[in-house]
Amino acid sequence: MASYLIQDGEIDLYRTHSGKRRVVARVGPGAVIGDIAMFEGGTYLSSARAANRVRAFRFDRDRLVPVLATHPALCLRWLVSGLRQLRQTQRRILQLMHKTVLAQVADLLLEESEQHGEVQLSQASIAMLLGATRQTVNEAIATLRRLGAVDTGYRLIEIKDPTILARVAAGEPT
């Protein structure tokens, strides 16, 4: 059993249900995947697929656990990384429960631009990440474009006005 630390690139984590692949998260540099299954000795919660060129470090359980046990500072950093991912997952769940698709799209675009500097996601990828239809995401992005918050290109969304985007994400009137 192993976990992986992403150094470069992005990975889509997905689950398959009734033959349909559903992306549950996209992770990039600094993210650790597979650690829950590695530490528990169970199965991976989701499958992983490179979204682009990826370079990652592999950590085998048998070698990592003794190192973490003898290096508390490293163990703490690993724990904080996992807690950061847990917080992001909880935030995404709350979004899905309480926000409109427009607010969810705005929030996702803000989050992606803060983490990666730009948003290189297709509308289909955004729809999969949010559990929405591509058409609904297309309408939300068109609304954000009309508001002057974003501009779009092929698989690229440029954030023009993060203040407007933040207001939409918060559900405030624009």
> Could you report the per-residue pLDDT of 39-56, keeping only the tens digit for each?
998 888 889 999 899 999
Q: Which helix (H) or strand (E) holds 22?
A: strand 20-27
- The mean pLDDT value for 64-87 works out to 92
In a domain? residue 174:
no
Tell how many helices (H) and how many strands (E) occur in the chain: 7, 8
pLDDT computed for residue 101 by the predictor: 93
Question: Do 50 and 8 share a structural domain?
Answer: yes
The residue from 38, 69, 96 where one domain ends is 96
Question: Do 104 and 92 share a structural domain?
Answer: no
Q: CATH number for the domain including 126?
A: 1.10.10.10
* Calpha distance 125→3 (Å, rounded): 24
pTM > 0.95: yes or no: no
In a domain? residue 71:
yes
pLDDT computed for residue 116 by the predictor: 65
- Does position 105 have pLDDT exceeding 70, yes or no? yes
HSE-up (13 A, CA, CB side) for residue 50: 10
The listed range with the strongest mean pLDDT (11-15, 44-48, 53-57, 114-118) is 53-57
* Calpha distance 151→159 (Å, rounded): 7
Q: Output the six-digit token pair for 126.
A: 């955004």
- Does position 118 have pLDDT exceeding 80, yes or no? no
**What is the residue-wise DSSP string for 131-159?**
T--HHHHHHHHHHHHHTTSEEEETTEEEE
Q: In the chain, how many domains are there?
A: 2
The residue from 66, 96, 126 where one domain ends is 96
Q: Which residues of 56-70 are buried (b: 16+ CB within 10 A; e: fewer)?
A: beebebeebeeebee
Question: Do 59 and 7 share a structural domain?
Answer: yes
Question: Do 152 and 70 share a structural domain?
Answer: no
Domain span at 8: 2-96
The listed range with the strongest mean pLDDT (53-67, 85-99, 105-119, 155-169) is 53-67
Percent of the chain past pLDDT 70, that is, above it, reads: 98
> Which residue in this structure is represented by tokens 């983490």?
115
Question: Do 87 and 111 share a structural domain?
Answer: no
- Does position 173 have pLDDT exceeding 80, yes or no? no
Longest dimension (CA), the chain: 56
Residue 75 pLDDT level (bands cut at 50, 70, 90): very high
From the list 122, 125, 126, 117, the residue with the least C-alpha distance to 155 is 122
The dihedral sign for the CA sequence 130, 125, 80, 2: positive
From the list 18, 67, 11, the residue with the least C-alpha distance to 44 is 11
